Amino acid sequence: MSKLIKKLGALALSVMLVLCLLSPVAMATSGGKIHTILALNAESIGASANASSKSIDLGAYQPYGFFSVQVTIAGAGTAKVEYLLSHDNATFSDCGTDIAIGLTAGTQIYPFPDGEPVVAPWMKIKVTETGGASGVTATVYLCIQ
């Protein structure tokens, strides 16, 4: 009887270990839908100006913490993309690293920096023309998982 109990105990321990190792994979794949949000749509931004998206309710997407943006820049200017966060959906703060800087005409996907964004229920995407001489037109999709 004690051999059977030892075998069952070892089996239970093995099953628990496997479940613990697989739980991050299950969390990222089973309920972790990927959501794409059009944050800015062909937004015209003058030289040294900026544009921000409407506030995005992150709670509606239940993110696991994986974020990226697809940015399309047109025009002769240079741009940067950053994100702003809010706890009250009224005051938004720049509390992270810029997502991408030095952007010129073209389309590219950029991941958020490691460990970002910090936890907050509301987000905006902001594009700033940084060259100072010419404007840009920006389209930005936010991807969340």
**What's the whole-number mean pLDDT along residues 103-112?**
97
- Rounded to the nearest 10 degrees, how much is the dihedral formed by the CA atoms of 47, 91, 110, 145? -150
Q: How far is Cα of residue 10 from the mean position of the Cα atoms in its chain?
A: 41
- On whether the CB atoms of residues 107 and 98 are closer than 8 A, the answer is no
User: How high is the pLDDT of residue 32?
Assistant: 79
Cα separation of 9 and 119, whole Å?
39
Tokens standing for residue 113? 């920096």
The three-state secondary structure class of 1 is coil
Instruction: For the chain, list the strands marked E by DSSP.
Output: 35-45, 50-52, 56-57, 67-74, 79-86, 100-103, 106-111, 122-129, 136-144
Length of the chain: 145
CATH for the 35-144 domain, from 2.60.120.380, 3.40.190.10, 2.60.120.660, 3.40.50.720: 2.60.120.660
Using alpha carbons, select from 143, 120, 140, 142 the residue that is nearest to residue 80. Answer: 140
Tens digits of per-residue pLDDT, 26-85? 444 435 799 999 999 999 999 999 999 999 999 998 888 899 999 999 999 999 999 999
Confidence (pTM): 0.78
Confidence check: pLDDT of 14 > 50: no
